[in-house]
A and B are shown apart, each in its own frame.
Chain A
């Protein structure tokens, strides 16, 4: 805070000085200003390059400001009149077209008349969406989405495709973000754009019937696809429902699941072909395809189709599977294909542990993302919404996953404090036919709900054992009655009132909870959408590199996947150092011997103003069935024009090799990882 102790200068004198200074300043260059050039200081704070905010000492002679500006070639200065009067000393902004901020500050601080000088920092808008269900989307906070949204909330120029059970494209939280084929007229039964598909407005249904016959309507047949689509790109900040990782990306719906709720590779391949065709031939900016499904059995054609998508710069984000098994030992496809555009995603829980159901694989699973009790869109009327009315309040409650419903009128009963619900003794006799209020802790939600049901409770309210609200699951379908969660604050309020009447309503809604790697994968897909919006000029490999580079290394995930890390969108979106790698397989021939070698070329891009120096770059290599091992190291000083070509020699012909580059700071901290390339 600026000190205003000097009050002996009359306001008119300050005004005169500033007027004189301003009058002496040359006129501004013109009415149109260029966008300010932003630089970053050592602490990561952003400021306008070439500008400085200056406070002169009391007693500085009139006109000193103008002289100062002239001497520093900062003619385009701007006085702060009100502030100067309040503080009784001149305060102004200096702007130099020739000098950097560092040079300006050095000069200013050396002058006796300057009391304070600092960069013209820019501050972030602390932006959270106003979607009422946002507080239930714990995964978004976990991946740093709010910080990321301060930089970018997504772009309607980015298209994310989802191959799934379809999607409820009329959902209020999705409709605004549905991709719309600009070349197609809805409902005229004509293939207007000549892409081979009639009336493909939001995508296409590649598996309309049991035989896989197609039609133009990709409406969701189960709910899974709508949930996945909402995680990726539900409309954000629209004061309704939830928000997606990307608030603005467009969703292309490629329904691939047949009525038997299976997707067949033939349908999946057609869906991929569609996305590839729309990007290649029609210029639709498909950035990534989400594939929240999988199974055993490798299919060369499916792999080829995904590779073809990769050639068009389309990432293929896959769920790792929900069997809790090791994909290295039991391959799971399509997540298991060894392709550079595949990102295989495991599920993490709220504590950053691998979710109990999630598959893993040190060699075949890339990264983790939130996948347990994820709140998102479901087909209209297929979800749950809930509240608890007391005599004076309407409390926000979260139905636990698999919770039963109450009917539209709700359940008007008395609520009884049942302690921790640990044993039958915790449940008073009166709770039978009424609602049990139970504190979270010591046993699972399922166990608490079972005990309450045994005691005859018609509904269960579980309140948090720490401050704030929470979400949870009952584990599986089980004919549950209504079971909801409330915050500790609301729980204590209910308890303090003793036995009293409430109305608990859990009824059909448009949102709901689901768990699975199916929910983890769209977090990553949405993240790629946001990266594409922030860095539209970067290719797929670089975007995937940013994704991996920014991920949080988590000890509990180490050894469970390639990067041992959980998605961190905020860091990925603001990587100070980005590595991009290309690898070319070549042959070296002496007189009598022939050997393959890999030309591993990586480029290092540092954010402007980055203070990173003295870093090292390690080249890692793996062959199928093995883990990455370091084969070489390059010092920052060896880079030429920010790039280096490392030659990995004496490779076995016929063996495939996968490479990745890791950048570490001088202190050993991992700064960035490159994309993976397999040759």
Chain B
């Protein structure tokens, strides 16, 4: 539900800014999230499939603001009890970016964003969840197939640090990690 809402918001924004004279970009991509939290990695693995939708708007030459949403989920097994457990991490980033001049078909970009991360787990008969702020930093390289269409590769880090109730003590967790992915983009 949350993913649907995020996608709807991003697409609505894209539609609203559609006639902006190639200042608006929309990218749909997929990549791999490499979680940084050691406990998470132990239970759910060290690489998660992570689709992403990103919108950006050039507010002045080579500077843009951008909004992105992504999500990853995984299933694991609790070693002590053999129970199946599930976890998901959802990210919503709002930030700014800078693009280089084009070198022929190529263009690079960097960006940083405020991140709101949300995690949820279904384990041992309970469903704890937690939201926390963090940051998102990334860099990418685009290859323009035409004036309006490009493919890109990007690498970045999105993470939020927080604590959860772990019985007698709190436990520190990190939502997010390194992300590497590719995207197909359109510039309007």
Contact = CB atoms under 8 A, between A and B. Distances in A.
B173 A595 contact: no
Nearest to A588: B80
B121 A592 contact: yes
A592 B128 contact: yes
Interface string B146-175: 000000000000000000111110010100
Interface stretch (B3-11, B38-46, B58-66, B134-142): B38-46
B124 A590 contact: yes
B125 A650 contact: yes
A647 B78 CA distance: 13
B80 A586 contact: yes
A591 B130 CA distance: 12
Nearest to A589: B166
Given A591-B123, A593-B121, A593-B123, 6 more contacts: A591-B37, A592-B130, A592-B171, A592-B173, A647-B80, A649-B125
Contacts of A649: 81, 83, 124-125
A650 B80 CA distance: 12
A195 interface: no
A593 B168 CA distance: 12
A651 to B, nearest CB: 10
A653 B126 CA distance: 14
B124 A591 contact: no
A597 interface: yes
A591 B87 contact: yes
Interface string A390-406: 00000000000000000
Contacts of B90: none
Q: Can you list the 9 inter-chain pairs with the closest CB atoms, starting with the nearest?
A: A590-B123, A588-B80, A592-B121, A594-B167, A592-B128, A595-B124, A594-B166, A593-B123, A592-B164
Interface string A590-626: 1111110100000000000000000000000000000
A3 B134 CA distance: 98
Contacts of B126: 593, 595
A590 to B, nearest CB: 4
A638 B22 CA distance: 69
A587 interface: yes
Nearest to A590: B123
Given A591-B40, A597-B81, A650 B123 contact: no
Contact of A592 (B78, B83, B123, B168): B123
B167 A590 contact: no
Contacts of A597: 80-81
Contacts of B110: none
A591 B81 CA distance: 14
A597 B87 CA distance: 21
Interface of B: 37, 39-40, 43-44, 78, 80-81, 83, 85, 87, 119, 121, 123-126, 128-130, 164-168, 171, 173
Most buried by A among B40, B81, B130: B81
A152 B80 CA distance: 45
A591 B164 CA distance: 9
A593 B119 CA distance: 12
Contact of A590 (B85, B130, B165, B168): B85
Contacts of A589: 39, 166, 171
A253 to B, nearest CB: 46
A594 B124 CA distance: 8
Contacts of A590: 43, 78, 85, 121, 123-124
A373 to B, nearest CB: 54
A198 to B, nearest CB: 48
A591 B83 contact: no
A588 B85 CA distance: 12
Contacts of A592: 87, 119, 121, 123, 128-130, 164, 171, 173
Contacts of B173: 591-592
B166 A595 contact: no
Contacts of B129: 592
Given A587-B167, A653-B167, A593 B80 contact: no
14 contacts: A588-B81, A589-B166, A591-B44, A591-B87, A591-B119, A591-B123, A592-B129, A594-B165, A594-B167, A595-B125, A647-B81, A649-B83, A649-B124, A649-B125
A650 B126 CA distance: 9
A625 B171 CA distance: 33
A588 B164 contact: no
A380 to B, nearest CB: 60
Contacts of B166: 589, 594
A595 B40 CA distance: 17
Most buried by B among A588, A590, A593, A647: A590
Interface string A58-99: 000000000000000000000000000000000000000000
Interface in A572-596: 586-595
Contacts of A587: 167
Most buried by B among A588, A592, A593, A647: A592
A590 B83 CA distance: 10
Most buried by A among B121, B124, B164: B124
Given A587-B167, A653-B167, A593 B83 contact: no
A589 B83 CA distance: 11
Contacts of A595: 124-126
A590 B168 CA distance: 15
B65 to A, nearest CB: 33
Contact of B124 (A586, A588, A653): A588
A647 B171 CA distance: 25
Given A587-B167, A653-B167, A593 B128 contact: yes
Contacts of B168: 653
B78 A588 contact: yes
Contacts of B128: 592-593
Nearest to B119: A592
A315 B17 CA distance: 82
Nearest to B37: A591
Contacts of B124: 588, 590, 593, 595, 649-650
A491 B130 CA distance: 86
A54 B121 CA distance: 73
Contacts of A593: 121, 123-124, 126, 128
Interface in A190-249: none
A149 to B, nearest CB: 48
A590 B80 CA distance: 10
Contacts of B39: 589, 591
Most buried by B among A591, A649, A653: A591
Contacts of A647: 80-81
Contacts of B123: 590-593
Contacts of A650: 124-125
Nearest to B165: A594
A592 B76 CA distance: 13
Contacts of B37: 591
Nearest to A587: B167
A489 to B, nearest CB: 68
A656 to B, nearest CB: 16
Nearest to A650: B125
Contacts of B40: 591
Contacts of B171: 589, 592, 594
A590 B76 CA distance: 10
B89 to A, nearest CB: 10
A653 B123 CA distance: 16
Contacts of B44: 591
A588 B81 CA distance: 7
Nearest to A647: B81
